[in-house]
Amino acid sequence: MTNFAFEATGPGSVAAHRIGTAITGPVTVLPAELLNSARDVQAPAGLSNLPPLPLCLGRADALARLRGAFAAEPGQWATGTATVQGLGGVGKSTVALAYAHWHRRDHTVAWWINAASPAHIEQSLAALALRLIPAWAGRAAIEERAAWAMMWLQWHPGWLLLFDNVEDPADLRPYASAPDGCVIATSRRAVGWPAAVPVLALGVLDLAEASELLCQHVLGETAPTPRQLQEARALAADLGRLPIALEQAGAYLAQNPTIGIESYRRKLTAKLDKASDGHDPERTVARIWRHTISTLTERNPLAVSVLSTLAWLAPDDIPVDLLAPTADDDTDDVHEALGLLRAYCMVSLTQDTVSVHRLVQTTLRNQPTLGGAVPAGRLAGWPAGSRTAAVRRGRPAGRTTELRPIPRLGAAPPAPRRARGHHS
Query: Is 329 within the bounds of a domain?
Result: yes
For residue 190, give its domain range. 6-201
**Residues contacting 30, CB < 8 A, separation 6+:** 6, 7, 8, 9, 144, 147, 148, 151, 419, 421
Domain containing residue 31: CATH number: 3.40.50.300
Query: Is 420 within the bounds of a domain?
Result: no
Residues 186 and 335 in one domain: no
Say how many domains are in the chain: 3
Of the chain, the end-to-end C-alpha distance in Å amounts to: 7
Q: What is the 3-state secondary structure (H, E, C) of 31-93?
A: EHHHHHHHHHCCCCCCEECCCCCCCCCCCHHHHHHHHHCCECCCCCCCEEEEEEECCCCCCHH
Residues 34 and 173 in one domain: yes
- C-alpha span between 354 and 230 (Å, rounded): 35
Which residue, of 242, 268, 292, is where some domain finishes?
Answer: 292
Residues 241 and 328 in one domain: no
> pLDDT (tens digit, 9 = 90+) per residue, 394-418?
333 333 323 333 333 333 333 333 3
Residue 256 has pLDDT above 70, yes or no: yes
Contact 46, 163 (CB under 8 A): no
Residue 40 has pLDDT above 60, yes or no: yes
Question: Across the chain, which distance is largest between two alpha carbons, in Å?
Answer: 75
- Choice among 30-39, 157-166, 225-234 with the minimum mean pLDDT: 30-39
Residues 255 and 366 in one domain: no
Band (370; pLDDT cuts 50, 70, 90): low
Which residue, of 201, 236, 268, is where some domain finishes?
Answer: 201
Band (337; pLDDT cuts 50, 70, 90): very high
**Residues contacting 378, CB < 8 A, separation 6+:** 309, 325, 326
Residues 261 and 310 in one domain: no
Query: Is 88 within the bounds of a domain?
Result: yes
Residue 246: the pLDDT is 94
Residue 5: the pLDDT is 44
> pLDDT (tens digit, 9 = 90+) per residue, 103-132?
999 999 999 999 989 999 999 999 999 999
Residue 26: the pLDDT is 54
- C-alpha span between 147 and 34 (Å, rounded): 10
Strands 199-201 and 80-85: parallel
- C-alpha span between 271 and 250 (Å, rounded): 18
Residues 17 and 39 in one domain: yes
Residues 192 and 216 in one domain: no
H helix runs in 220-280, sequence order: 226-238, 243-255, 261-270
Query: Is 404 within the bounds of a domain?
Result: no
Strands 181-187 and 199-201: unpaired
Residue 3: the pLDDT is 44
Residue 222: the pLDDT is 93
Residues 266 and 348 in one domain: no
Query: SS3 for 182?
Result: strand
Residues 339 and 372 in one domain: yes
Distance of CA 240 to CAs 190, 200, 203, 226, Å? Answer: 21, 20, 11, 21
Residue 409: the pLDDT is 34
- C-alpha span between 191 and 68 (Å, rounded): 21
Query: Is 399 within the bounds of a domain?
Result: no
Torsion angle, alpha carbons of 182, 186, 190, 193, to 10: -30
Closest CA to 81 of 69, 93, 73: 69
Residue 175 has pLDDT above 70, yes or no: yes
- C-alpha span between 414 and 192 (Å, rounded): 32
Residue 295: the pLDDT is 86
Residues 93 and 186 in one domain: yes
Q: What is the pTM of this model?
A: 0.74
Residues 191 and 172 in one domain: yes
Residue 183: the pLDDT is 94
Which residue, of 147, 169, 201, is where some domain finishes?
Answer: 201
Residue 228 has pLDDT above 90, yes or no: yes
> pLDDT (tens digit, 9 = 90+) per residue, 285-336?
777 877 788 888 888 999 999 998 998 888 888 999 889 888 887 888 999 9
Query: Is 103 within the bounds of a domain?
Result: yes
> pLDDT (tens digit, 9 = 90+) per residue, 52-62?
988 898 899 99
Tell me, what DSSP letter sits at residue 131? H
Residues 330 and 374 in one domain: yes
Query: Is 327 within the bounds of a domain?
Result: yes
Query: Is 333 within the bounds of a domain?
Result: yes
